Structure 1
Amino acid sequence: MSAALDTATATRSGKGHRDENFPVASHLIHPRNRPPILAFYYFVRAGDDVADHPDLSSEQKIALLDGLADALTGAGPSDPEAEPLKAELAARGLPPLHALELLDAFRMDARKNRYADWNELIHYCRYSAMPVGRYVLDVHGEDPARVYKASDAICAALQILNHLQDCGKDFAKMDRVYIPEETLRKHGATVAMLGEPTATPQLRAVISELAGRTLALLEEGRALPDLIDDTRLSMEIAAIHRLAVLLTRGLLTRDPLSEKVHHGKAAFALTALGAAAGALARRPFRGRLARAAA
């Protein structure tokens, strides 16, 4: 194994799909579709760990990310982090586009740690979040023209929600701030406030505004479960959407610097189960619901 691959392996955080804030290839997903989703997750996790590694320079990170991309496309040496996804893509006849776009987002993280405004943040989400939803939909054979737009809105919302929940940690550990500078200025807040033990009223106003915009994205994607042909995927996305709405509403009243935004596992499970059951109950009417959404 090359020195580059040794370095890539050493950057792994040890985080797995069960450690994420939202379900990843849960047992709601049909068993035949779980392997390609998990292969995608662990390839992306390897890239994310590189981008977040505190001891690597920007140049080292980009070199490792380029190596992952080349291994996936066959343009460079094989990499154990890329081989499972490469095999799944070949078996399904799927292109590597979505995984490569996520690597572009990690390159942004290696070079950039501030965002000027909401549009710049959404541009980041286009590469850091939207490809995830698109890949899962492609694995299930869904129609991009029907489902991508709603999926993009939900994925951007999930990404921004994570940014808001982790705003203090991101600033303290990596000097990375996803909160738009324009929004901070609007409410008289500063980046330095992210390093305080509790959020100031100005920063709370910033988080509240961004949470409201995130809820608008979730509303834009609300119809997605009823647009999807695969019943099990519809239930999974309905559960994720409901959990995201619950957490985002929590940010309207909770301080992510000093309070836990997440609820307990039991409450989350009940919320997800209720949303999945609701999606299942709507299946007989999904044609009418999809037309109404359109």
Structure 2
Amino acid sequence: MEGPRASGGRAMTGRSGKGHRDENFPVASKLLRPEHRAPIMAFYRFARVADDIADAADLSPSEKLHKLGELRRGLDGDGAPEAVALARTMAERGIDPIHAHELLDAFTQDVTVRRYADWDSLIGYCRLSAMPVGRFVLDVHGEDRATWPLSDALCAALQVINHLQDCAKDYRALDRIYIPADMLAASGAEAEDLALTAATPALRDAIVATAARTRTLLEVSAPFAGGIRDRRLAAEVAIIQRLAESLTARLLTRDPLSERVHHRTVEAVLLAGGAALGQLFARRRR
């Protein structure tokens, strides 16, 4: 249920070449039913284009906003082809286009906002950049909207995890800092610390504080998979939850400036398999 993630700056005309298999968490995996994967991929392609525009190194802010505006117009049927295709899919499925519009709001914010004062403002950004992705997936599956709060917590956690893993890249390439400013100040860290090859003790304290708040989000989202009716989607959510818990644990003990945090393929496969089987057995016991 993850949306596209910035790759830390790109020398291209608004396109990264990145695909759904390059994301840190599963996107429309083959666990899902084919009829559900298609609309999710339409949403992903739309989001990928918007993300690439917002992060393009060779576009000015005004050019980025113009291109994002073209995507917005596409949602009304006359603009960027990825947006037109998504609009058609949403109309066929009876899905509220608010999720796509909110995601565009987030990418517009990426063009104009580079710092977040506190945790609440960061979660406010996640409300636009991450939560609509999960809500769209749930709507595609016809799930009860009562599951939204748990989905929101998981999606926000995924977004913050991605930002913490890539905190140095985001700063060096895009001059963006997603670690809340008050957490940096409380630890005595400076923004410029993110340009170093290894985190200072103060920066590590700020990263750990942000990861700890993220772990709290994952504690909230822990029952999410168990409340999903579609067993295939439940398995994918269980996998994402487990991967997120593992990455958060690493961020609490590893320095993302100098140490590997991302899972290697074998690690991810083992974690995913255990989570999916655990979810399957839990359902059989009910």
2:14·2:58 contact (CA, 8 Å) conserved in 1?
no
Match of 1:72 among 75, 92, 102: 75
* Corresponding residue number in structure 2 for 1:185: 185
Q: Aligned equivalents of 1:42 and 1:112: distance in 2? A: 24
Structure 1: which 5+ residue stretches go unaligned?
A: 1-8, 287-294
Q: Does 1:234 align with 2:234?
A: yes
Contact 2:99 2:132 in 1 (8 A): yes
Q: Which residue of 1 aligns with 2:66?
A: 63
Structure 1 residue matching 2:250: 3-state secondary structure: helix
Contact 2:13 2:58 (C-alpha < 8 Å) held by counterparts = no
Instruction: Give the whole-Å Cα distance in 2 for the aligned partners of 1:85 and 1:285.
Output: 39
* Aligned residue among 46, 63, 84 for 1:43: 46
**Taking CA–CA contacts closer than 8 Å with sequence separation of 6 or more, which of the two structures ends up with the larger relative contact order?**
2
Letter aligned with residue 94 of structure 2 = G
Segments of structure 2 that go 5 or more residues without pairing to the other structure are 1-11
Q: Aligned to 1:259, what secondary structure does the other structure show?
A: coil
**Residues 118-176 of structure 1, C-alpha deviations (whole Å, 9 max, x = no match):** 1100000000000000000000000102x000000000000000010000000000101
Please state how far the C-alpha of 1:78 moved relative to its aligned partner.
Answer: 3.3
Identity of aligned residues (%): 55
1:135 counterpart = 2:148: no
- Structure 2 distance, partners of 1:272, 1:157, is 18
Q: Deviating runs (4+, > 2 A) in structure 1?
A: none
SS in structure 2 at match of 1:73: coil
Size of the aligned set, in residue pairs, is 275
Q: Deviations over 1:5-63 (max 9, x none)?
A: xxxx9411110000000000001111110000000001000001110011222222111
Q: Name the residue aligned to 2:223.
A: 223
- Give the match for residue 83 of structure 1: 84
- Report matched runs for 1:1-294 at 5 Å: 10-74=13-77, 77-145=78-146, 147-285=147-285
Corresponding residue number in structure 1 for 2:6: none
Give the conservation status (yes or no) of the 8 Å contact 2:13–2:56.
no
Q: Which amino acid aligns with 2:135?
A: R
Pairwise CA distance, 1:84: 2.3
Query: Which is greater in Rg?
Result: 1
| Contact 1:73-1:96 at 8 Å conserved across structures | no
TM-score (structure 2 length as normaliser): 0.94
Query: CA shift at 1:83, angstroms?
Result: 2.7
Moved more, 80-89 or 157-166: 80-89
Comparing 85-94 and 42-51, the one that deviates more: 85-94
CA RMSD of aligned residues (A): 1.2
Letter paired with 1:99: A
Assess if the C-alpha contact under 8 Å between 2:28 and 2:40 holds in 1: yes
Q: What amino acid is aligned across from residue 97 of structure 1 in structure 2?
A: I
Q: State the shift of 1:285 in Å.
A: 4.9
